Amino acid sequence: MKALVYQKFGPPENLVISDLARPEACSHEVLVRVAYAGVNSVDWKIGAGRIDHYRNAPFPLVTGRDFSGTVVEVGSHVRNFSVGDAVIGCLPGPGGSFAEYVATDALSLARAPSNLTLAEAASIPLVGLTCWQALVGSAKLSKGEVLYVLSGAGGTGSIAVQLGAALGAKVITTCSERNRDYVTGLGANYIFDYSKPNFTDDLIAEFPQGVDVVFSNVLGPLHRDAYRTLRPGGILVTIGESPLPAVAEKHGVDEIDLIVQPNGKQLTEIVTYLENGTIKPPSVSIHALVHGAHAMQNISEGHVRGKIVLQVS
């Protein structure tokens, strides 16, 4: 099968198309022919060797967590899926969806949303599970609380804004001025332009008692600055950035370093939100698999609105 692989750690330009053996489904697994694969920040970080947990991963290395596709084979113990079903899923790290076929635990899958294209559906699994496990599972966000989502126009942030609004929270987010209308349409109540040097001070002036929950999936100064927006005892959920326990202690807040896990039951809950219109998928940009290096470079540079997906087959 064709796959987009790293032969060694490094920048996205190291990615090449290679022929690999097609995986086989075990008794509890499903073999899926991948139609589209979502591209996420974690993919280039793994490929660059920036995530300690995966530095011993064997080469050739196939990344990619998100996928949509069609079931072509089911294991002998699988009862909830059949050949021909359209499905979505999130693979455990380091991934493997940038390939024509994936074999994965049937319990990690959900049926594809009936109202979305497979390209749109491929944009959902990792970001959806990230937001669900952060806001519902870890922070236990409740109606009336104040949620601050960093970077609300991105693939993950856009889902976090919508899920927060669906849970009844008052939602604050950041974006560039050009994305203000887009983010407003997602349900954000307060929007701050992160290009302005003192926007965090403006946020704190608006919410002097502090926010209840911060959802942070950005790197560097914006992440560090978010701690001081929280009320004492507030919760900061960190995704993709190293936690800063000393900073959390200084501000008297709790920090949760989220490691997202595949979960078909939670993914099915997210599909329900998508099908009833409570959550809309991020805007999708489609790239051919052979142009995966360029797509990954765009993700690594940030400022991508919505999600990039690769057309695999």
pLDDT in tens, 87-142: 999 999 899 999 999 999 999 999 999 999 999 999 999 999 999 999 999 999 99
Determine if residue 221 is left, alpha or beta; phi over 0 gives left, psi from -120 to 50 gives alpha, anything else beta.
alpha
Cβ distance 305 to 154 under 8 Å? Answer: yes
pLDDT of residue 25: 96
Largest CA distance in the chain: 60
Neighbours of 105 (CB within 10 A): 18
* 185-222: b (≥16 Cβ within 10 Å) or e: ebbbeebbebeeeebbeebbeebeebbbbbbbbbeeeb
Determine if residue 219 is left, alpha or beta; phi over 0 gives left, psi from -120 to 50 gives alpha, anything else beta.
beta
Looking at the chain, the domain(s) classified CATH 3.40.50.720 span 127-257
Asked if pLDDT for residue 155 goes beyond 90, the answer is: no
Please tell us whether the domain made up of 2-124+281-311 is placed in CATH 3.90.180.10.
yes
pLDDT of residue 241: 67
Asked if pLDDT for residue 243 goes beyond 80, the answer is: no
Looking at the chain, the domain(s) classified CATH 3.90.180.10 span 2-124+281-311
Q: What is the band of 248 on the pLDDT scale with cuts at 50, 70, 90?
A: confident
Class of domain 127-257: alpha beta
Q: What is the band of 305 on the pLDDT scale with cuts at 50, 70, 90?
A: confident
Share of the chain above pLDDT 70, in %: 99
Phi, psi of 230, deg, nearest 5: -80, 150
